[in-house]
């Protein structure tokens, strides 16, 4: 009788552990899937940028430093994307990607601000088309990032609650990092001067 109860208890604990493990694996896979959507959109964004820069080159001859900085930031962001895509639950890789994308966003804002001083560039059909595609891609990135962050939140909550926490740590389920792409220049208040 005691042996039967003990055996039943062991089977229940094993079943409970398997259930938690499987739930955490499912949620971790949802994080990876969410990041795959970000990967698609950021890759599209990274592919559009060289075309945009090439179009702007003819008009912005005196702004070579800005154009080169945009391409360099794009390359760093693409490298960060590749590293983060290898393991979307790697918090450091996600943080580095967010930093690289934030820097790229700031430089893209600078590029668009410079382009406003060149009416011929603004009137260019190619520039208008690329700008529209880039804006649409930015919207898709924002939606994909939100879906990814929702998956990360669900995964992190599941791994941190008790009793799941007892299984998550020993089985190697590390916390995932939210992807927050910040453009510092967009967070600063505009300066208004009437003098």
Residue 12 inside a domain? The answer is no
Residue 94 inside a domain? The answer is yes
Residue 6 inside a domain? The answer is no
Residue 172 inside a domain? The answer is yes
Instruction: Assign 192 a pLDDT band (cuts: 50, 70, 90).
Output: very low
Considering the chain, what percentage of its residues have pLDDT values greater than 70? 93
Residue 178 inside a domain? The answer is yes
Over residues 115-124, the pLDDT tens digits come to 888 888 878 8
Nearest to 67 by CA among 79, 51, 44: 51
- For 67-134, the DSSP string reads HHHHHHHHHHHHHHHHHHHH-TT-HHHHHHHHHHHHHHHHHHHHHHHHHTT-HHHHH-HHHHHHHHHH
Over residues 132-190, the pLDDT tens digits come to 999 899 999 999 999 999 999 999 999 999 999 999 989 989 999 999 887 544 444 44
Indicate the number of domains in the chain: 1
- What does pLDDT average to over the chain? 88
Residue 126 inside a domain? The answer is yes
Token couple for 107? 């430089």
CB under 8 Å to 10, separation ≥6 — which residues? none
Distance CA 72, CA 53 (A): 12
User: What SS3 class is residue 190?
Assistant: coil
Domain region containing 45: 38-184
Residue 99 inside a domain? The answer is yes
Query: Could you tell me which residue, 72 or 125, shows the higher pLDDT?
Result: 72
Over residues 43-79, the pLDDT tens digits come to 999 999 998 998 888 788 778 888 899 999 999 999 9
Residue 55 inside a domain? The answer is yes
């Amino acid at each position: 009788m005691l042996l039967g109860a003990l055996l039943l208890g062991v089977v229940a604990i094993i079943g409970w552990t398997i259930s938690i493990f499987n739930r955490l694996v499912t949620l971790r896979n949802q994080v990876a899937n969410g990041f795959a959507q970000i990967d698609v959109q950021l890759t599209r964004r990274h592919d559009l940028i060289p075309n945009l820069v090439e179009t702007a080159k003819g008009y912005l001859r005196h702004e070579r430093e800005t154009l080169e900085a945009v391409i360099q930031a794009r390359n760093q962001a693409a490298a960060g994307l590749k590293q983060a895509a290898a393991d979307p639950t790697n918090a450091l890789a996600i943080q580095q990607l967010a930093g690289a994308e934030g820097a790229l966003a700031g430089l893209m804002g600078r590029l668009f601000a410079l382009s406003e001083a060149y009416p011929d560039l603004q009137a260019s059909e190619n520039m208008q088309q690329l700008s529209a595609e880039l804006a649409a891609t930015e919207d898709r990135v924002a939606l994909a990032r939100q879906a990814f962050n929702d998956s990360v939140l669900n995964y992190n909550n599941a791994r941190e609650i008790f009793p799941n926490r007892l299984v998550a740590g020993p089985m190697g389920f590390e916390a995932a990092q939210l992807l927050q792409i910040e453009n510092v220049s967009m967070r600063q208040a505009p300066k208004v001067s009437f003098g």
